[in-house]
Structure 1
Amino acid sequence: MVEAGRPISDPRMLAVRCLVTAARQRLLVPEAMARFAYQLDARDLAFAHEIVYGTFRFLPGLEQVLRQFCPKPKFPPEVHWLLLASLYELGFMRSADYATIDQANRNIRKLGFPRLKGLVNAVLRNAQRAGDDLWRERDQASWLLPRWLEKLLVKQHGPERVATWIKRWSERGLLSYWHQGGELPGDDAVLSGDDVVSPVLPHCRRREGAVPEAWLEQGVYIQNESSQLIAHVAVGLSPAKAIDLCSAPGGKACYLAAFSPETELTACDLDEYRLGLIRQNQRRLNLNFPLIVGDATQMNCTGEFDLVMLDAPCSGIGILGRHPEIKRHKEKPADAAMFDVQAALMKAAWQYVKPGGHVLYSVCSLDQNEIPALPEDAHIANDRLKELIPAGAPVVWQENGLLIEPDVAFDGFQAVLLQKP
């Protein structure tokens, strides 16, 4: 639901409103941004997005800086996020310092806290006077990761690997998408000046900025390359009959339907609203496969499918390169309740697959605990998986499947391919 009131015309104000809403309601940035009406040109909208994503990306470090100048920061959320967003501007963006501070002083009044203008001005002036020393360690783990998450990753993957990921997470990633046809309708060439063909996946293109909105009605689907890679494996298995459990918003199912049209595909999700997102994508991409609303663990389809795809509910910590707000929404690792859900879904998926068929389990998480115990009679089909993974994919092979390392175009994922005897 879009908030009532006059459309927002100041990108900094939109950024603060988005930060407050995303944090308060634990939303992803696009979901939070959709709550507001705004009148901004493309440049100002990109400016607002940069403030939001950058503030979330370096949130642990920005909180440290704020505590230097305000040791006990107890004030309304709007003021808190205004200060953090302004500190991000001062330390990371090319905005003129005077413009950042002046607009923060204006916006504190517009937000309804004129008495705190002196506090806001003092914090930002002190940060400005501190100079470059304040920002020297901004590529360190303490600037990018909550302590609990750093400890978890280092324990499981080692400090050197995590250091590489931290460097990646300090930079803005590329956006990836695919298109069913060759040329995009209305374009003279397959690629625009901002686009490059993925060197890894056959249908994928990359770009730095947002996809033109008109392209979305012309068969373009925005999907990270790790998610595309899992779907590419599904296509390579050439299943005659497949089901995608926990499917919404339907990226992998749509990829399989688009590039393996001979597969008899069904998609399932527990949430009726999220299933509606798949319907929207089906209409937009001109794809047609049946959808089922229901609990994926309670379906009556034992032994029916050549392939069961299961992108299980997870902590989501693998996508923090594209969605750094995830760090703000999580306060600890996945717990027993999450592990129980993942295990129950794995058990159900194993029941639904035919003898000789495959279960393709994945999570957009780097926590190794989120790969549940495998069925006793399952064959871990790493050899088959290796045949299907394209050269150049940032993959680390594990005893149970693979780890996709986060890089400029790939989220952190884990996947395992099982074959039923």
Structure 2
Amino acid sequence: MAAEGLAARAAAVGLLGAVLGEGRLMTQAVADPQGPLSGLPPGDRARAQRLTLAVLRHLEPADKVLEPHLRKAPPRMVRDALRLAVVEIAMGGAAHGAVNAAVEIVRRGKRTGHLAGLVNAVLRKVPEQPFEGLPPQRMPRWLRQPLVHAYGREVVAAMEAVQAGAPPLDLTVRDRAEAPEGVVLPTGSLRLEEKGQVSALAGYAAGGWWVQDAAATLAVRLLDPKPGERVLDLCAAPGGKTLQLAAAGAQVTALDLSEARMARLRENLARCALEAEVVVADALDWTPAKQFDAVLLDAPCSATGTIRRHPDLPFVKDGSEVAGLVALQAQLLDRALGMVRPGGRVVFCTCSLLPEEGEGQLASALARHPGLSVERVAMPGVEEAWWTDAGGLRLRPDHWAEAGGMDGFFMARLKGVL
């Protein structure tokens, strides 16, 4: 039997095994030349990734649907094939295709062939709307508990509802550049509901836009770069903010530790016909020849604000890295403050929902450096409720929930030098 879409579905089961069984990030599993996507044509690769992400967004509801029909836990690969079929049915896919594919994937497994009948029997009992009445996927306890404490249960539930949906695609578009049709958000980003292949979208080759979540764009707008200013983008890769800064006319130095990630930044600069000095170095060791007018620090963090786009993160991380990241962020912020001229400014941001990586960092920086002050900048589309009492900007996935939400971020603009 050669079921339609079988290769993509089998690869999706493999990707689920890499994430849930091996604790690997999706990006790692996708890039692995010997991984589940090896040898697949582009269309099947893309479909496998979409299916995997969908299962990760609905894993808990899928398990609740399957639980009454399984007397004992099947092997992981079998469970993942069952989960995939349930999620496909819930998404409105043809039940017979999803069921037949799951049965065939299990039948072809070296150690699972004898369970093909079980898979068929279980999936035949799944209703047409399997998730009806079930709550959305919940964040893991290590993350959910501090978020409930910080924002309340209703807000966290609203975040989870947004994270359960496939996110739209946001573009940052240069003035008068060709771009696909979409909705212009209040902050100026262009939002697309139907993505397709990004490189095939109108205006891609001409370099008039780049992919960048609407929330991420606000860090540069908070910095408010002026033409001709010398600006350092610290921890710059993959480079969306570097492109923003260069498009604003700033003289940009983009610094990051990763040569591989900076290669992509260079490619995007070339495609968009923008210029920046690209430096591969450790920000804690590198010293500029001259201080900058402004520094943008998008510090390494837990990335918990990006779960709507990266639903694998809760299954790979356990929160143990947060304390080390908080310490690193403080070091990097102090370095950034020392790299600006008197009267210059620093924007600190993290794509994290955890207060210790945002509001807490701001409070600690102000306590360490009494000469620092926080500046607010008027930005179109930014709602008053998003500003904290201390002057930082707290963005959450449930902001603009009806339009697809946004990434979670914290950002603050600081003035003063060490």
TM-score range, shorter chain: 0.7 to 0.9
CA distance in 2, matches of 1:30, 1:210: 22
The secondary structure found in structure 2 opposite 1:381 is strand
Is residue 263 of structure 2 the alignment partner of residue 276 of structure 1?
yes
| Within-5 A mapping of 1:181-200 | 182-184=176-178, 190-192=179-181, 195-200=182-187
Match of 1:17 in 2: 14
User: When the two structures are superposed, what TM-score results if normalisation uses the length of structure 2?
Assistant: 0.84
Match of 2:412 in 1: 416
CA distance in 2, matches of 1:136, 1:339: 40
- 2:322 paired residue among 335, 345, 367: 335
Match of 2:232 in 1: 243
Say if 1:249 and 1:114 are closer, same or farther in 2 by CA, change over 3 A: same
Is residue 370 of structure 2 the alignment partner of residue 377 of structure 1?
yes
CA distance in 1, matches of 2:162, 2:292: 38
Report the AA paired with residue 206 of structure 2: Q
Report the AA paired with residue 73 of structure 2: P
- 2:193 paired residue among 168, 183, 207: 207
The offset of 1:242, in angstroms, is 0.9
Say if 1:30 and 1:179 are closer, same or farther in 2 by CA, change over 3 A: farther
- 1:397 paired residue among 387, 390, 393: 387
Unaligned runs of 5+ in 1: 1-7, 185-189
Report the AA paired with residue 415 of structure 2: Q
CA distance in 2, matches of 1:266, 1:151: 39
Is residue 335 of structure 2 the alignment partner of residue 344 of structure 1?
no
Alignment coverage as a number of residue pairs: 392
Which deviates further from its counterpart, 367-376 or 56-65? 56-65
Say if 1:163 and 1:237 are closer, same or farther in 2 by CA, change over 3 A: farther
CA distance in 1, matches of 2:340, 2:382: 30
> What are the superposed Cα offsets for residues 63-119 of structure 1, whole Å, 9 maximum, x if unpaired?
3444443365252x43332122112123x2212322221111111133433122133
Say if 1:296 and 1:346 are closer, same or farther in 2 by CA, change over 3 A: same
- 1:138 paired residue among 118, 134, 137: 134
CA distance in 1, matches of 2:9, 2:327: 42
CA distance in 2, matches of 1:414, 1:364: 7
Say if 1:199 and 1:115 are closer, same or farther in 2 by CA, change over 3 A: same
Report the AA paired with residue 56 of structure 2: F
| Within-5 A mapping of 1:117-136 | 117-126=116-125, 128=126, 135-136=131-132
Report the AA paired with residue 144 of structure 1: R
Say if 1:394 and 1:364 are closer, same or farther in 2 by CA, change over 3 A: farther
- 2:213 paired residue among 221, 224, 232: 224
Report the AA paired with residue 219 of structure 2: I
CA distance in 2, matches of 1:64, 1:148: 21
CA distance in 1, matches of 2:301, 2:55: 24
Contact kept? 1:404, 1:412, Cα under 8 Å: yes
Is residue 151 of structure 2 the alignment partner of residue 157 of structure 1?
yes
CA distance in 1, matches of 2:320, 2:109: 35
User: When the two structures are superposed, what TM-score results if normalisation uses the length of structure 1?
Assistant: 0.83
The offset of 1:191, in angstroms, is 4.1
Match of 1:56 in 2: 56
Unaligned runs of 5+ in 2: none
CA distance in 1, matches of 2:372, 2:71: 56
> What are the superposed Cα offsets for residues 193-216 of structure 1, whole Å, 9 maximum, x if unpaired?
xx2222322x53433323542343
Contact kept? 1:173, 1:208, Cα under 8 Å: no
CA RMSD, Structure 1 to Structure 2 (Å): 2.8
Match of 2:40 in 1: 38
Contact kept? 1:22, 1:29, Cα under 8 Å: no
The offset of 1:29, in angstroms, is 5.4
The secondary structure found in structure 2 opposite 1:144 is coil
CA distance in 2, matches of 1:327, 1:110: 30
Say if 1:264 and 1:39 are closer, same or farther in 2 by CA, change over 3 A: closer
Percentage identity across paired residues of the two chains: 28
Contact kept? 1:22, 1:32, Cα under 8 Å: no
